Structure 1
Amino acid sequence: MSWHILPPDSALSTAIQHKIDTKTKPVGALGELEALARQVALVQQTLTPQLRQPHLVVFAADHGIAEAGVSQYPPEVTHQMVRNFAAGGAAINVFCRQNGLALTIVDAGVRGSFADLPAVRDQKIAEGTRNFLHAPAMTPTQCQEALQRGARLVDELHEGGCNVLGLGEMGIGNTSSAAVLLHQLTGRPLAECVGRGTGLDAAGLARKLATLTRAVAAHPAVGLEPLAVLATFGGFEIAQLCGAMLRAAEHRMLLLIDGFIASAALLVAARLAPAVLAYCVFCHESDELGHRLLLAELGGRPLLRLGLRLGEGTGCALAYPLVQAAVGFLNEMASFESAGVPDDSGA
């Protein structure tokens, strides 16, 4: 697949900055909210940006590597949590309801059926990936199909009027995939990329690192080509996330980036089309070990640092009110001129 992502035209930058600077406040007094307002206005190429039909999509899939004991929880939990999402009982359901975000749950490759749950969208590639200790996680064809299915979902949301999209995930074992993606694509030592995931103790973390070290050694010829790395070590939910991100940027949608797993998907996307990064709002810095490294690699400045390590897109839902605040002050806050207040700032 080829991706045609154009960076936002910078021609409006001066006018946007002037509008921000002449609000009734000292220059720069709203700090990071000003940078966020500027980004949203540039993405939408307007001085009066609007957030329409905000939507959060959670992609779920199982991972063969989970069979190797890299998680504190058994693989069945992925299926159980998707049912919890569909019932409205997970953290992401609570935060989406609280902040006015529509929510779609996607079966990208979970073991078992959700035929009895019409609320779960069926985009299943297979019943989980293969164990990449022994074979590539997915075939090249499966990887391409996952990218396409993620992209097609975004096409539908865009056609329905959505212009701001949050992306989350669920999949036991997916911090292992994300850690290896980070290691392979950046050259960072694997020990710096592997974290405790769902809460491993020291012994569990050591086992996880040893397992992933063996897994990397089992694929010496994988190289640095992003899709080859994704197919070898990724997950169906990570690949669908990647396709969704790339298509959203093609549509000039604002992208809300969650934690470690979503950022690993973005790393792959950015290797394929670097311009995707201009459309991304980094919602938080996860407590997972490698996320800080990923943020540095992607140039991301997180809006929140809450010690989260849940996934599900929870960081996106929690940060969305800050995006609303940035757009709100840009559109509704008085200027010095409109308020009849003397402007001594020199702006």
Structure 2
Amino acid sequence: MTSAFARFPPRLQAAIVSNLGWSSLRPVQELAGHTLLDGNNAIVLAPTAGGKTEASIFPLLAMLMEREPEGVGLIYIAPIKALLNNQAERLGHYTEMVGLRRFLWHGDIKDQEKRAFIKEPTALLMTTPESLEVMLLSAKVPHTEIFGDMRALVIDEVHALAGTDRGAHLMSVVERLVRYTNNDVQRVGLSATVGNPVDILHWLQGTSKRPGCVVDPPKVPSKKDLRVYLRDTLGAIAQDASQITQSKKSLFFCQSRSLAEEIAERMRNRGTDVFVHHSSVSLEERTAAEDRFHRGTNASIICTSTLELGIDVGDLDLVLQANAPSTVSSFLQRLGRTGRRTGQQANTTFFCENVETVLQASYAR
């Protein structure tokens, strides 16, 4: 059987080999490549850092390269701006290496840059659900000119939206958007953790008449290191967390910003570099915390869900959790941050304040 890579245009093949140094595609990228090149809608499943982004982007770029779109041909949607910012350089590199361009549109982008995009749209648009609706509502955006040749959209971390009010709103926006084109827009959802992919695929399909497919390559079973501790005070939690995170890189997830701030304050000056990462922290501080992870060890980021959704902070040694996450999917997403290096086990250590959260953590396990 011909490989998906061999079905890519020669220019894309050459760019992958010369720019990325790849000699082959991962299993999820082969399966998704065939599925998307055949014109199917799809849910693509793979672990965190498993190559889902490339599994969707490469075949869709191949489609755009065959006939360059007039205006935006592909939209990449992420639940949060931080994930968009994190993916901007990567997707910008992928588009540039085949002679296409991308634009990032959200609330932090300057009006001058947005006006330049409206004047000369790019093949790939990266945005959030809310920013996409703002574009549709704006009289300054010529919708037919920009979206009239739209051919595909990718929703990253689709599990964070499916089945929620925000997800229903996004699907409404998408259905309004596709009215501007005569194309049956191809729809792709990416996720590391979802237990009902067929249901999510049906949700994603909307009014599209394309066939749908779940891309879920076989997974190699692996051991997990899961630990649950009961500590009756935040001081005790901070003390224990400080001890096990020394000389390591760790994320410590909390269910609220106030709890993250309090634990961070108690962990400071205990031998580990401590950073805080949540939606109310300035972009500069969040960026500094993310950069610190790429430059060494002995650092712990105390965070909320802002570091749950696919943002790349490099290889981690440990994931810690104060009490328990609200959903099993959140737990699996956070667990998947570790265990990427050869010989390393995925791990999560729960520090619980009471028996109720011990039970909740044990259920997540």
TM-score w.r.t. the length of structure 2 is: 0.26
Report 1 or 2 for greater relative contact order, CA contacts < 8 Å, sequence distance ≥ 6: 1
TM-score w.r.t. the length of structure 1 is: 0.27
Higher-strand-fraction structure = 2
